[in-house]
Structure 1
Amino acid sequence: MTVSWLFVVFCVATATAATALYDRNLAYWSPYADHPQLAVNTKALEAHHLKEFQRRQTTENKFDDNHYPTFYGAHFGTSPTVWSGGINFTHSVASGDPFDTSVLIWTRAFPLGAGPDQSVPVCVSYDVFSSPGMQGKPVQSDQAFTSWDVDFTVKFEVKGLKPDTQYSYVFSDCTNPATTSPVGKTRTLPSPNTPANTVNGGKPLTLAVFSCSQFQTGWFNAYGVAAHNTSADIFVHLGDYIYESVGNGAAIGRAVLGRELATIHDYRQRYAQYRTDSSLLAAHLNAPWINVWVYYYQSNQVLKLKIASNSRMITSLQVADNTWKAGSTNSNDSSAGCAFSASGACFTDRKLAAVRAYHEWIPVRQVETTDLLRIWRNFQIGKLLDLTMLDTRQYDRDVTDVDYNHVIASLADIPDRSLMGAAQEKWFSDTLIESQNRGAIWRIVGQQIVFTQILLNGVFADLDDWDGYRMNRQRILDHLHANKIRNTIILSGDSHANWVSDLAHPNDTTTYDPVTGKGSIAVEFAGTAVTSPSPFGAGMFTNTTSHTTYPKSPRRHASPDQPDLCADRRPEPRHSFRGFFTLTIDTKQANATYYAMSNVGTPNLGSFVSATFTVNAGEDRLARPVAGGVVAAGVLKNGS
């Protein structure tokens, strides 16, 4: 069912106002508003829309019938109508990237009926309330179009909000306001100059930190536990929100749809399937998210960790293909790379489709429209902290280990080799200085991969991590030390394991004391996966997945004959002790609490706290005794 443009009360007859109904939906502008070959030209869409309406009213006029080819080939050139046949908010709501006076809110409004008409736009409105029960008048309202061109997703930036304030929000069908979405909760950040002791109303601020949620290997119970059983104010996701690989999850009712992802349809289908998990939906309803991506071009390749002592291979069930700025293991921009790609697509084609779908489905801001892949950004949360989100996977990353070409061991110590790229590296250094100079107490750094050195029997476990870019890591540690930048905590994901460490220069036995932590420069909290199995699991001695060691002297190490490495050897499909951690921050302490899921083979909220850690302001190291000297799962190096 459709309704004529003339009878839609929310549409006006001026071109400027009509275009605004498209422009308000940020999904049309993502990911790159200044790159028309990628963004949807809303002025062209609106012009064709109006021309067709005029054509039906004034038949003697001549018209140019050339259709504007959008990113996916759709157009509104024959669309005189706006959909009024009913919509379904198929994937609930979400919010993200809060600032002090604005936040992004998201939904998907899919037309009811046999199938969507690619030429008919859908109108969606929103209301934002300052009261949880949505009493009184909304503090902000607006409406916008969505369409097949952006998978019927809607992403608004709600502006003019009060800093450090909780809000509720709801979407509705413009043509039938009785059709509404679930009610979401979100918040704004305090203004950058807010005194640290008044941030979050004077209460500690809690971040819930996640990574690596693979649909076919378990239910996303960690999201539900965080949403229902913690007081998390912001959800931070460090990558692998979706996986591009296939694989059989039929045993637990979690088989993925489609194939290894390559096209825009593939990526959209995968996001849509992931966002059916009830715990994930609850987490998005509950609080705003701040995300970074990790892998976009994954396969069913197997991670191989070579153990020096016996040269045997430890394999995981599945791990992402490694990516860098110009390719990945099985998808490079060459004729050979395209031919060998499991999906039949080249690296750049997959990247553009992946980035586009990410911006459609995730409430994340466009940082800079002239910088094609920039997702690194900074959030100033009063004078309490800066939350600095990096991209250590995609942005200008020098070549990594791509499975079939193991040359990185000979390149890892090259001085100018960079994991981050020169532009991001300089920005990060400047941001740390600016954070300290503006008087923020804490510097919390969210990024994708384990920062500290990891060796297995003297062999680097994974040169796709910071261990393959050792001089880049050294420059960061040198910068923190030389500029006396205090209270830095690095958050990491990707490894499917828990690691907690003081951060000192690797192999430093002179200035760092592992017993007291004196000489530490910063602290790292790395979390395990929401569901993805641990690549360190097979053949290891311990059968827990909470490795809680503090750093090495001279180096952190683990071996298969001692319980010093996280693993999960329980039969499929349990993957027990998957989980997440929270970081609760106030002016005096940062406290990390690690949550272990009892079982991810069924949807449930069973969990327990496996360990807790404290960092006191001004000390730059884990408080002793580490974790109070006892953990419920895992081990403490040189400890209990």
Structure 2
Amino acid sequence: MTPAGPQQPSPHAPELRAAARHLGRRRFLTVTGAAAALAFATNLPTAGVAAAAELDAARITEDPFTLGVASGDPRPTSVLLWTRLAPTPYQADSGLPPERVTVRWELARDERFRHVVRRGATVAHPEFHHSVHVEVGHLDPDRVFYYRFRAGSWVSETGRTRTAPSSRARVGGLKLAAVSCQAYHDGYFTAYGHLAEDDVDVVFHLGDYLYEYAVSAVGGARNYTDRVLPDVFNRETVTLEDYRLRYALYKSDPELRAAHAAHPFVVTWDDHETENNYAGDVPENGVPPEEFLLRRAAAYRAYWENLPLRRPQRPEGPDMQLYRRLTWGRLAQFDILDTRQYRSDQANGDGWKTPTPESEAPSQTLPGFAQERWLTDGWKRSDALWNVVPQQVTFARRNHATPGNTTLSMDSWDGYPASRERLLAGAEAAGVENLMVLTGDVHVSYAFDLKRDFADPGSRTVGTEVVTTSVTSGRDGSARPGNWAGYLAANPHMKHYNGLRGYATVALGREAARVDFKTVPAVTVPGGGVSVAASFVCEVGEPGLKPV
């Protein structure tokens, strides 16, 4: 990455640099290789600390479930349930002593919990900021369940989740939602309020769950007049405490809480959960990799603590296995990508630049070579009707809207064309017929036909890309941004472009998929309805988007 100019020293620099001297190369940055230095820099617990004293939950005098409940990664016979205890979420300790707390949970077939199918107890450890991740197994496939937690006399709100169909089931349909980019300081989460009421089976969050930038006392564009946010949010996130507090701010939003309670989420990150436009262990602003990896370790840990992720996703230092595969019977295979942690550094910087031999070199990879192989190998073994790839940055080529301008986005797949070509060739070799890519990042909604050769507009269409707009990022936006006509003219494979906020839904069926782009009129004021800006159909065996 190219630094933006001279950088001001981080207020945390002395501590970070002192720890970095002990860490050395990335391969030593694991819980076994340098746990003491890593814990010193980011307050991560070391082995053995989990033997904290136990707090009698009856002594909790304020509601500890201020951040709601969530579920995630539905599998045929198991669900993942999440909550975090935080009586005073805007304090660093969340209002709890550094002691473990017993949390009880229930899973039922009905909202009134008359037919409880599983119940149990788990421990909220202070080392994980009193978050709990409960994996409930031995469940029937393709069923809706309701769940709740108890701590002392306090009972959480009720969440709704479900198991996926069995791997061999011939499923008739699935409706998913895609969301991304929810900058708290850019507006209200109105889209989540509508999504909570939408009839979907699962929500895919495609990155930028939070932003590292400072949030002012009035909540930025929210411009609160009835509250004042603590000054702890009015700084960029760097340390583990910073990231934990920022998640508390976001997850205390009632509309985001409602969406999590209503639907299971499948999450993956982009850049802002850590730092803007980072690439692997290369930060945005040119600080030493050892120093940046301390920040990455803090960000990754807070991400896992605050989102409904299973045990295999729990990070070790600055490393986290986030890419993974889910299925929905034989209807759909979902290959969830991580396009940040393993990518090559952007060859020409991370803006819009003219491609060069360096950016087009075969050595450049966006998901990393191991993840590329994992994806193409998964396609070879797939027997699903739809192969869906939830990921972060625009996959299709985006020619510049201005005639004669040959620049492309170096932070997207356009900056890594050899990597994209390997995946397109892999899909072709695997015989993938119904390929769909789900994307976030760009704060607008697009619909693309994926071409086998983007340099040739007449090239064969091999799939579809659905790009969801942001929940808030970019503030209100407009239905037709200033480059709307130019973009559509420069990209004949672009079938839709809208700059309002909202989300997308995709109904996968055995004969076709229907895509609806849903928008809200504004996010800088609370409330507002939702409308369908555009709808398309993709027919099975005939790649390409057809307007409805």
Q: What TM-score do the two structures reach when normalised by structure 1?
A: 0.71
Instruction: Report 1:134-145 matches (<5 A).
Output: 134-136=113-115, 138-145=116-123
Identify which range, 264-273 or 360-369, moves more after superposition. Answer: 360-369
Instruction: Report 1:390-405 matches (<5 A).
Output: 390-399=337-346, 401-402=348-349
Does residue 254 of structure 2 align to residue 278 of structure 1?
Answer: yes
Structure 2 contact 346–411 (Cα < 8 Å) conserved: no
Task: Tell me which residue corresponds to 1:79.
Answer: 53
Distance 2:458 2:351 in 1: 39
Instruction: Report 1:4-153 matches (<5 A).
Output: 35=31, 71=45, 75=49, 79=53, 82-86=56-60, 88-110=64-86, 116=95, 118-136=97-115, 138-153=116-131
Unaligned runs of 5+ in 1: 1-33, 41-68, 198-203, 299-319, 339-345, 513-518, 558-563, 568-576, 629-640
Instruction: Report 1:124-523 matches (<5 A).
Output: 124-136=103-115, 138-173=116-151, 176=152, 178-197=153-172, 204-228=173-197, 230-248=198-216, 249-253=219-223, 257-296=233-272, 321-330=276-285, 332-333=287-288, 346-367=291-312, 372-399=319-346, 401-402=348-349, 409-435=356-382, 438=383, 440-456=384-400, 457=402, 458-509=405-456, 512=459, 519-523=460-464
Shift, 1:161, TM fit? 1.0
Shift, 1:158, TM fit? 1.0
Aligned partner of residue 122 in structure 2, secondary structure: strand
Relative distance call for 1:359 and 1:80 in structure 2 (3 A) is: closer
Task: Tell me which residue corresponds to 1:541.
Answer: 482
Q: Which amino acid aligns with 1:278?
A: P
Shift, 1:281, TM fit? 0.5
State the structure with bigger RCO (CA 8 A, min sep 6), 1 or 2: 2
Q: Which amino acid aligns with 2:58?
A: S
Relative distance call for 1:105 and 1:360 in structure 2 (3 A) is: same
Structure 2 contact 205–266 (Cα < 8 Å) conserved: yes
Does residue 533 of structure 2 align to residue 589 of structure 1?
Answer: no
Shift, 1:398, TM fit? 4.1
Aligned partner of residue 323 in structure 1, secondary structure: coil
Shift, 1:583, TM fit? 0.4
Relative distance call for 1:262 and 1:538 in structure 2 (3 A) is: farther
Shift, 1:328, TM fit? 1.9
Shift, 1:71, TM fit? 1.7
Task: Tell me which residue corresponds to 2:19.
Answer: none
Relative distance call for 1:100 and 1:162 in structure 2 (3 A) is: same
Shift, 1:88, TM fit? 1.7
Structure 1 contact 252–601 (Cα < 8 Å) conserved: yes
Aligned partner of residue 542 in structure 2, secondary structure: coil
Identity of aligned residues (%): 29
Q: How many residues align?
A: 495
Aligned partner of residue 194 in structure 2, secondary structure: helix
Write out per-residue CA displacement over residues 349-389 of structure 1, whole angstroms, 9 at most, x where no aligned residue. Answer: 11000000011000112436798332111111101110111
Distance 1:223 1:608 in 2: 14
Unaligned runs of 5+ in 2: 1-29, 37-42
Shift, 1:82, TM fit? 3.6
Does residue 523 of structure 2 align to residue 600 of structure 1?
Answer: yes
Distance 1:84 1:38 in 2: 38
Aligned partner of residue 227 in structure 1, secondary structure: helix
Q: What TM-score do the two structures reach when normalised by structure 2?
A: 0.82
Q: Which amino acid aligns with 2:242?
A: D
Pick the structure with greater CA Rg.
1
Query: Which residue of 491, 502, 520 maps to 1:579?
Result: 502
Structure 1 contact 102–188 (Cα < 8 Å) conserved: yes
Shift, 1:149, TM fit? 1.8
Distance 1:333 1:363 in 2: 32
Distance 1:493 1:260 in 2: 23
Structure 1 contact 123–145 (Cα < 8 Å) conserved: yes
Aligned residues: CA RMSD? 3.4
Distance 1:361 1:171 in 2: 16
Q: Which amino acid aligns with 2:160?
A: K
Aligned partner of residue 257 in structure 2, secondary structure: helix
Q: Which amino acid aligns with 1:209?
A: A
Runs of 4+ in 1 over 6 A off after TM superposition: 37-40, 112-115, 368-371, 404-408, 534-539
Shift, 1:272, TM fit? 0.3
Task: Tell me which residue corresponds to 1:524.
Answer: 465
Relative distance call for 1:78 and 1:599 in structure 2 (3 A) is: closer
Structure 1 contact 170–184 (Cα < 8 Å) conserved: yes
Write out per-residue CA displacement over residues 481-535 of structure 1, whole angstroms, 9 at most, x where no aligned residue. Answer: 33331001111110111111111134444853xxxxxx21111111111111189
Structure 2 contact 330–385 (Cα < 8 Å) conserved: yes
Shift, 1:549, TM fit? 5.3
Instruction: Report 1:597-636 matches (<5 A).
Output: 597-623=520-546, 627-628=547-548
Write out per-residue CA displacement over residues 430-474 of structure 1, whole angstroms, 9 at most, x where no aligned residue. Answer: 111111xx3x11111100010011121332341110010001111
Distance 1:507 1:358 in 2: 35
Structure 1 contact 219–602 (Cα < 8 Å) conserved: yes
